[in-house]
Structure 1
Amino acid sequence: MNVESLTTQIDDAFFLIGGAILLIEIAELLFKREFKAKTFGEMLASASTQIPYLLVETFILTGAYGIYWIIAQGLPWTIPVTWWSLVLVVLLADVTYYWEHRIAHEVRLLWTQHAVHHSSRDMNIITGIRFGPFEGVWSLIAHIPLALMGFAPEAIILGVIAVLVYQTWLHTELIGKLGPLERVLNTPSHHRVHHGCDDKYLDKNYGGIFIIWDRIWGTFQIEEETPRYGLKRDFNSQNPIRVWFSEWPGLVIDLSHSKSMRETLAILSRPPGWDLKK
């Protein structure tokens, strides 16, 4: 089975879907005369994050494959690459993504990367490709257990990409609620909640493909009123450099106030917003 070809087909299919939704979004904004300079600026800022992200991600994916391959060589067992094992690895990658994603919200050092994705005040398909340059490092580490289970490196990479690519179409306001599918799948409605910075929506709906993980682990929130998108703090910049590194200045300032290694570790590992003085 050609896993690399299958990965490319998944990527291409969702790229076409995402492209179609983007065109409809732009057409709707133009029709309503709401396509303003700020909207265009947000789109450019989101697209700009792909420059550092792709440059770094090439090395991260290569490193991930190498690490998973080394682990595979030391295991006395392997899981053959079949359709059933690929379905299983995507399911396990989705569970992994839930916890990887949740921890990225709860650990400030990881949040410096993931906050880039949440920093837009708009919700559109382009927001779906807004990534911090080093997000892939945490993803590489989080998926090591799949390698220890015996999954082939290319199968793990397929699972990671499938979960990420699925989420492309979730970043839109065009699609309303999808009836019974809302019970099981992550949908645009659920993901709009995740991007909301309102207190009731904060840190909810972490799922990738399936929303059932949020229902199981108590982080599910249904969409009620339209969320206010973006970061909780006042951040509304379209400057690419500020978007790429939005969380670093605050972290550096807090670290400069640390008086011990214990405080330094607390600043890096506690949730965003944790106050050293309290």
Structure 2
Amino acid sequence: VVSLISYGDKPREIALSKEPSLRNQLLGALITTAGPTAIINAFLLTKLMSFLEPEPYPVLPDGLPSFLLKLLLMLILNDFLLYWGHRIQHEVEFLWQFHAVHHSYRTPQPLTAGNIHSIDATLQGGLPIVITTIICKPHPWLLYVFIFLRVSENTINHCGSDSWLVAVLRGSWLPLRASVEHHDRHHYYCNHSKKATNYAESFIVWDWMFGTLSQVKQR
């Protein structure tokens, strides 16, 4: 895996060796993806969909253009909400203690995405998805695709590589998209509760708009 930023005079492999063990990372990711919080969120989201649309959904959503347009809207809205759910945990000392669990991983890797406190997961994942669902009222198939893309992107964002394949998979070549390097810098330079940068995960525009964009050059 190619490091995207400088880790001092140490290669990425040495930096990774100081992270929690693989066993602990796997356990943390498993608890996040299949533990009580995940089960409760899935149940509540199912009930929410039934509340938003009491009548049976059609088997397929209406047309591909409408499907893609609403998907884009959901991704943009969710990322805006995620930006603030992320930022508030850096700026409010009480909330930082929950987000600090995720920041115990200074050198991002795929399993890092799943090692997150349940309060943190709610503020950055659960609430943004619920609010986005309430506003956009997606067809179930659209919601499945949306959640799949969000989980996939979150995992890729922590892979530590911005190769051409990664860029293609997450669409980093599209306008205003945040790169893997963008989030890598956040983990390395912002392991603290105040004055952090690069909060956005999907679209760099939020950091640009709200003055939290940092593009520290590699050394």
The TM-score normalised by the length of structure 1 is 0.55
Aligned residues: 193
Secondary structure at 1:195 match in 2: helix
Residue identity (%): 20
Q: For 1:140 and 1:41, how far apart are their aligned partners in 2?
A: 25
Larger Rg: 1
Q: Are residue 115 (structure 1) and residue 100 (structure 2) matched?
A: yes
The residue type paired with residue 217 of structure 1 is F
1:52 aligns with 2:31: yes
Per the alignment, residue 7 of structure 2 pairs with none
Alpha-carbon deviations, 1:26-83, whole Å to 9, x = none?
Answer: xxxxxx8956994474433322212322212122122123234324449xxxx96723
Conserved 8 A contact 2:108-2:159: yes
CA contact (8 A) 1:176 1:188 kept: no
Q: Does 1:141 align with 2:133?
A: no
Please give the alpha-carbon distance, in whole angstroms, between the structure 2 residues aligned to 1:188 and 1:151.
30
RMSD, aligned CA? 3.9
Aligned pair partner of 2:50 in 69, 78, 101: 69
Q: Which runs of 5+ in 1 are unaligned?
A: 1-20, 26-31, 227-278
Structure 2: gaps spanning 5 or more residues: 4-10, 56-60
Where in structure 2 are the equivalents of 1:10-159 lying within 5 Å?
34=13, 38-39=17-18, 41-53=20-32, 54-56=34-36, 57-73=38-54, 82-138=67-123, 139-152=125-138, 154=140, 155-156=142-143, 158-159=145-146
Of the structure 1 ranges 143-152 and 211-220, higher mean CA displacement relative to structure 2 is found in 143-152
Secondary structure in 1 matching 2:133: helix
The equivalent residue for 1:271 is none
- TM-score under structure 2 normalisation? 0.67
Give me the whole-angstrom Cα distance separating, in 2, the residues matched to 1:221 and 1:203.
9
Shift of 1:97: 1.7
Q: 1:205 aligns with which of 183, 198, 201?
A: 198
Contact 1:49 1:133 in 2 (8 A): no
Q: Which has the higher contact order (CA 8 A, sep 6+)?
A: 2
Q: Higher mean Cα deviation, 216-225 or 120-129?
A: 120-129
> Residues of 2 paired with 1:199 and 1:112: CA distance?
11
